[in-house]
Amino acid sequence: MLYFIGLGLGDERDVSVRGLEVIKRCERVYLEAYTSVLMGSADPSRLEEFYGRKVIVADREMVESESDAILAGAQEVDVAFLVVGDPYGATTHSDLALRAAELNIPTKTIHNASIMNAVGACGLQLYNFGQTISLVFFTDSWRPDSFYPKVQENAQIGLHTLCLLDIKVKEPTLESLARGKKVYEPPRYMTVNQAVEQLLEVEENRQEKAYTADTIAVGVARLGSDTQLMRAGTLAQLRDVDFGAPLHSLVLVGSRLHLLEADALRQIAVDREALDVVLARDYGITH
């Protein structure tokens, strides 16, 4: 059996009891380590100590190009593929599941919390979220805005937009690729501040008002950990808030804002009086 096991959002202890039982009996255990990381547990040795199994770090290259190594022998032994959050949350691993099906390898999924559902902790109702987008790091020559139409569609019907922020783990440098010998960049994690800067740059270029500097948003950091931090304010305000260590996410608040949601945002406001002004002016909500 090939098991897809969600690890949750915090550290190695957030795995479910069922998931832990399966991991402990698996012949091989792989940790998917390029779409997200466990906060406080970046070192696989901590997972190995807790799980009682050797953990093989599966980077993007292994998962996308060397999946045969993961699937090898899974018809006869149990193999675990560990994913931070939920296996089918922010990033699906359907390609690996389909490959397993082609080889007649049975699969089973053990779910866990992911940013996709835990973001409701900020007080915004999950039913009021629209399409989720991903923001990638801009470069000098690549400043993509393909996410913009999705934000625009969400905004047109008043729905919130969850923005998943880029992480770069074991990314080869362009120079090393040109030379044919890979040298990897240090890990990088996009902050709320960087995300806001990029969003506002795209809006400035497009001038279509899917959002503005006065749009209310929620910055979320280290969700599910003991040090989680959530702050609500305009994009202009969040640009200057120190959210601390990764991982970060951002929510653009839609106009279909319920009164209870507004009350929840007041509790985590950067500036409560300023937030009330924007809520009354742009969202028609008064305290």
Per-residue pLDDT tens digits for 208-229 = 999 999 999 999 999 999 999 9
In one-letter notation, the amino acid at residue 215 is T
Structure tokens that stand for 111 in this block: 């779910």
Per-residue pLDDT at 87 exceeds 80: yes
How far, in Å, CA of 85 to CA of 283, rounded? Answer: 33
Per-residue pLDDT at 41 exceeds 60: no
How far, in Å, CA of 281 to CA of 199, rounded? Answer: 22
pTM of the model: 0.91
Q: 184: which strand partners?
A: 172
Residue list, annotated binding site for S-adenosyl-L-methionine: 9, 86, 89, 114-115, 165, 223, 248
The pLDDT score that the predictor gives to residue 218 is: 98
* Range in 50-64, 112-126, 217-231, 237-251 the model is least confident about: 50-64
Percent of the chain surpassing pLDDT 70? 91
- Domains, the chain: 2-113 (3.40.1010.10), 116-283 (3.30.950.10)
The pLDDT score that the predictor gives to residue 274 is: 96
Residue list, annotated binding site: 9, 86, 89, 114-115, 165, 223, 248
Per-residue pLDDT tens digits for 154-202 = 999 999 999 999 988 766 666 666 666 776 678 899 999 999 999 999 9
The pLDDT score that the predictor gives to residue 36 is: 73
